[in-house]
Amino acid sequence: MKDPKGLFYQILRSRRSVREYQDMPIAKDILERILETGRLAASAANCQPWDFIVMDQNHPKREELNQVFYKDGFLKAPVVIAACAESEKAWVRSADGANYAWVDVTIAVTEMILAATAEGIGTCWVASFDLEKARRILNIPKNIELVTLLTLGYPLEPLDIQEKNRKPMSEILHTGEW
Ligand SMILES: Cc1cc2nc3c(=O)[nH]c(=O)nc-3n(C[C@H](O)[C@H](O)[C@H](O)COP(=O)(O)O)c2cc1C
């Protein structure tokens, strides 16, 4: 592989939230690679307090799931991954009782997002949706939290490197102390 470091940064920079998808399915082996990336992610004390529910366009409940989205573009996403957290299985920091379930799930989802980007697949982390309806459709047990519905699909517009609207480094970086 020529310049793997350069390629990695290119993937990071080309990731953006994709809300419009082509009508093209994701091949099984590609989806498996993306999910495997999530499975291998780091988690606090290696607790792995996550579960993933995958739903493609052929699933009988997909039309029902589409009702939970507030943006039409997501309806066309060939795959939705519901990423779930089980706080009872997560590491808890004794100093302040912080439960790391959502941190761990977020790391796994982020790595899946980057794997998808490397595959030329666009994603959107969707946090705003009809939560209660989604939980019911996906049959999620009471003790499990639904962190995100990650939509995946080939983007309508290519994943090229675009300017990002972000705070400047000077605003967020502290040296040595707050
Ligand atoms: C935790 C989280 C929740 C988000 N929820 C939504 C959402 O519900 N709907 C949506 O359209 N985008 C959502 N996004 C996408 C953000 O709006 C997007 O990441 C941000 O505007 C930066 O743009 P970029 O991802 O294209 O770089 C979410 C992103 C994150 C990280």
Chain position carrying tokens 């707050």: 178
Cβ-Cβ contacts under 8 Å for 136 (sequence gap 6 or more): none
User: Given this model, what pLDDT does residue 2 score?
Assistant: 72
90 found inside a domain: yes
Q: Tell me, what CATH number does 113's domain have? A: 3.40.109.10
- Looking at residues 137-166, what average pLDDT do you find? 96
160 found inside a domain: no
Residue 137 in this model has a pLDDT that exceeds 80: yes
User: Given this model, what pLDDT does residue 161 score?
Assistant: 87
* DSSP E strand boundaries for 31-92: 50-56, 79-85
- What is the atom index within ligand 1 of the atom nearest the CA of 18? 26
For 102-166, give the DSSP string.
Answer: HHHHHHHHHHHHHHHHHTT-EEEEE--B-HHHHHHHTT--TT-EEEEEEEEE-BSS---------
- Looking at residues 146-163, what average pLDDT do you find? 95
Domain holding 83, by residue range, is 16-155
Distance 119 CA to ligand 1 centre (A): 20
In contact, 160 and 122? CB cutoff 8 Å: no
Residue 55 in this model has a pLDDT that exceeds 80: yes
User: Given this model, what pLDDT does residue 1 score?
Assistant: 65
Give the count of domains, the chain.
Answer: 1
170 found inside a domain: no
How many residues are given for the chain? 178
129 found inside a domain: yes
Q: Round the average pLDDT of the chain to a whole number and report it.
A: 97
Cβ-Cβ contacts under 8 Å for 113 (sequence gap 6 or more): 15, 123, 125, 150
Residue 138 in this model has a pLDDT that exceeds 70: yes
3 found inside a domain: no
122 found inside a domain: yes
In this structure, the residue with its CA closest to atom 14 of ligand 1 is 125
In this structure, the residue with its CA closest to atom 20 of ligand 1 is 17
173 found inside a domain: no
Could you read off the pLDDT of 62-89 as tens digits, one per residue? 999 999 999 999 999 999 999 999 999 9
User: Given this model, what pLDDT does residue 45 score?
Assistant: 98
Distance 97 CA to ligand 1 centre (A): 28
Residue 135 in this model has a pLDDT that exceeds 90: yes
Q: How do 145-153 and 79-85 pair as beta strands?
A: antiparallel
4 found inside a domain: no
- Looking at residues 52-61, what average pLDDT do you find? 98
User: Given this model, what pLDDT does residue 5 score?
Assistant: 86
- What is the atom index within ligand 1 of the atom nearest the CA of 164? 27
* pLDDT confidence band for 144 (50 / 70 / 90): very high
3-class DSSP state of 56: strand
In contact, 151 and 34? CB cutoff 8 Å: no
Distance 1 CA to ligand 1 centre (A): 32
In contact, 20 and 157? CB cutoff 8 Å: yes
Residue 3 in this model has a pLDDT that exceeds 90: no
Task: Name all residues whose Cβ lies below 6 A of ligand 1.
Answer: 16-17, 19, 71, 124-128, 164
Residue 51 in this model has a pLDDT that exceeds 70: yes
